[in-house]
């Protein structure tokens, strides 16, 4: 009898446990949340003439800072086997989410201007929602301030090269009315379904208990004989 009670209790509470599990799994991961001013980890890979480097972490001072617009001077080391005949390109992965930035041409990109990498990052709350990047010509006002960058960039013997990387952050709305409606509607259906199962299971257990007690009261001798 005790085993039946335990089994019935476990079965009755199973829907509630399932609902809690679904709810917990739907929560965003706390480990991926950022704080304003926190360094966002970044890694990069380079490719020259079909030879690609492994992903390696970028030094913290060259990484983006969450929700902070900034510019950094990033060094570009000389690729293995570099002859100047082919372009050299970089790719990046941003954040714990490893948001991928496709290849960006930074050396021998068939332009007379010094390149500059412009990152645009979108965020809301403590989460990064997207990142795009492109190579642009360094504005002339930058060149006037950083004359040495232009001089060293065009010197084939001067390595590492240095290029300016600009990080611009855009805050987006955290309110998604359509998405929120679907989440609430789906959660309501799920909870209603689980509650119905729980009520039916509880009613079944009470009904079986009532029938057993009624039978025992109306036929005590038969119950005693069966027990013997």
Percent of the chain with pLDDT over 90: 54
Write down the pLDDT at residue 34: 95
Q: What's the pTM value of the predicted model, to 2 decimals?
A: 0.66
Q: Is the pLDDT of residue 225 over 70?
A: no
Write down the pLDDT at residue 174: 63
Q: What is the DSSP string of 127-140?
A: EEEEEEEEEEEPPH
What is the arithmetic mean of pLDDT over 150-162?
94
Q: Is the pLDDT of residue 37 over 70?
A: yes
Write down the pLDDT at residue 50: 87
Residues 65-97 have pLDDT tens digits of 999 999 999 999 999 999 988 999 999 999 999
Residues 159-197 have pLDDT tens digits of 999 999 999 999 998 665 555 666 677 777 777 777 777
Q: Is the pLDDT of residue 17 over 50?
A: yes
Supply the angle between the helices 177-218 and 2-26 in degrees, to the nearest 10: 180
């Amino acid at each position: 009898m005790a085993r039946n009670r335990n089994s019935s209790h476990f079965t009755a509470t199973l829907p509630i446990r399932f609902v809690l599990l679904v709810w917990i799994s739907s929560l965003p991961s706390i480990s991926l949340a950022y704080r304003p001013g926190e360094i966002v980890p970044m890694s990069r890979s380079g490719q020259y003439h079909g030879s690609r480097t492994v992903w390696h972490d970028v030094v913290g001072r060259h990484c983006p800072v969450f929700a902070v617009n900034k510019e950094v001077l990033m060094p570009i080391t000389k690729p293995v086997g570099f002859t100047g005949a082919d372009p050299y390109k970089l790719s990046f992965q941003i954040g714990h989410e490893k948001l991928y930035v496709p290849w960006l041409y930074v050396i021998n990109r068939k332009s007379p201007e010094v390149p500059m990498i412009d990152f645009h990052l979108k965020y809301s709350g403590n989460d990064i929602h997207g990142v795009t990047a492109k190579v642009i010509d360094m504005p002339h006002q930058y060149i006037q301030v950083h004359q040495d960058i232009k001089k060293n960039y065009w010197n084939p013997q001067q390595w590492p090269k240095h290029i300016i990387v600009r990080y611009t952050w855009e805050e987006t709305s955290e309110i998604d009315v359509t998405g929120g409606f679907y989440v609430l509607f789906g959660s309501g259906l799920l909870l209603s379904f689980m509650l119905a199962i729980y009520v039916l299971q509880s009613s079944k257990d009470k009904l079986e208990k009532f029938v057993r007690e009624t039978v025992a009261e109306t036929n005590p001798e038969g119950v005693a004989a069966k027990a013997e």
